[in-house]
């Protein structure tokens, strides 16, 4: 009887330890926790710095359908959206001090966009490759990684590197 109680106590300890480990594992990185997934979120007010995939669409309807599909994708942690009008407004703000660039684009010349942050940051390229085949209506699908962005900046003569990306995958909003 005592052996049986000790065995039962040992099994309970192992099960409890396993439960604690599972909770720790799923909560050890909230930015990578699939349980925290939400539906598509407007990009406005977010400064995504995590490796991600950018998808560009000719219209808002195509972008909205794709965003809804991506919200249920097990390889995608976060989905941010931007309508063509929102893209235009952000473009106007970005180039407010460069009127020759600012005035070169109209609301109809800029795409609706999706920023998809993968669950595994190292898989942005693989995710982009898969999404190219899945969303053929997208005019472009590109993986944007901190490494590739750093190379592009260096090619343009920019030597300052951006601040480290926080674990949340977003820099604090500046506005």
Which CATH number fits the domain that encloses residue 91? 3.30.70.3040
Is pLDDT above 90 for 161? no
Structural domain boundaries enclosing 52: 36-164
- What's the number of domains the chain is made of? 1
CA angle (48 as vertex; 74, 22 as ends), nearest 5: 40
Question: What pLDDT sits at residue 174?
Answer: 67
In a domain, 152, yes or no: yes
**SS3 call for 60:** helix
Question: What pLDDT sits at residue 167?
Answer: 82
Give tens-digit pLDDT for 68-100. Answer: 999 999 999 999 999 999 999 999 999 999 999
pLDDT tier for residue 121 given thresholds of 50, 70 and 90: confident
The answer to whether the CB of 36 falls within 8 A of the CB of 26 is no
Is pLDDT above 50 for 112? yes
In a domain, 26, yes or no: no
Helices (H) and strands (E) in the chain — how many of each? Answer: 6, 7
- In angstroms, the CA 11 to CA 130 distance is 43
Pairing of strands 52-57, 112-118: antiparallel
Who contacts 174 (Cβ-Cβ below 8 Å, separation ≥6)? 47
Question: What pLDDT sits at residue 65?
Answer: 97
Question: What pLDDT sits at residue 170?
Answer: 86
In a domain, 125, yes or no: yes
Is pLDDT above 80 for 61? yes
Work out the end-to-end distance of the chain between its first and last CA atoms, rounded to an integer number of angstroms: 68
In a domain, 147, yes or no: yes
In a domain, 44, yes or no: yes
Q: How far from chain centre, in Å, is Cα 61?
A: 20
Give tens-digit pLDDT for 12-46. Answer: 233 333 332 222 222 334 444 443 467 898 898 88
**SS3 call for 19:** helix
Question: What pLDDT sits at residue 25?
Answer: 29
Q: Is 0.85 topped by the overall pTM? A: no
- For the chain, the average pLDDT equals 79
Is pLDDT above 90 for 131? yes
In a domain, 135, yes or no: yes
The answer to whether the CB of 88 falls within 8 A of the CB of 110 is yes
- In angstroms, the CA 120 to CA 76 distance is 8
CA angle (87 as vertex; 86, 88 as ends), nearest 5: 90
Average pLDDT over residues 107-113: 94
Question: What pLDDT sits at residue 37?
Answer: 64
In a domain, 153, yes or no: yes
Question: What pLDDT sits at residue 22?
Answer: 27
- In angstroms, the CA 152 to CA 174 distance is 23
Average pLDDT over residues 96-122: 93
In a domain, 175, yes or no: no
């Amino acid at each position: 009887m005592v052996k049986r109680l000790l065995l039962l106590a040992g099994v309970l300890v192992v099960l409890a330890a396993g439960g604690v480990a599972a909770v720790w594992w799923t909560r050890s990185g909230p930015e990578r926790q699939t349980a925290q997934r939400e539906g598509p979120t407007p990009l406005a007010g977010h400064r995504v710095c995590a490796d991600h995939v950018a998808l560009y669409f000719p219209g808002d309807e195509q972008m909205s359908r794709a965003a809804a599909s991506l919200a249920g994708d097990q390889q995608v942690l976060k989905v941010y959206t931007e309508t063509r009008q929102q893209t235009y407004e952000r473009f106007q703000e970005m180039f407010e001090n460069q009127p020759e660039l600012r005035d070169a684009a109209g609301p109809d010349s800029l795409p609706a966009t999706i920023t998809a942050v993968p669950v595994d940051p190292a898989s942005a390229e693989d995710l982009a490759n898969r999404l190219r085949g899945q969303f053929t209506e997208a005019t472009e699908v590109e993986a944007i990684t901190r490494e590739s962005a750093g190379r592009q900046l260096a090619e343009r003569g920019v030597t300052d590197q951006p601040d480290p990306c926080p674990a949340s995958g977003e820099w604090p909003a500046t506005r």
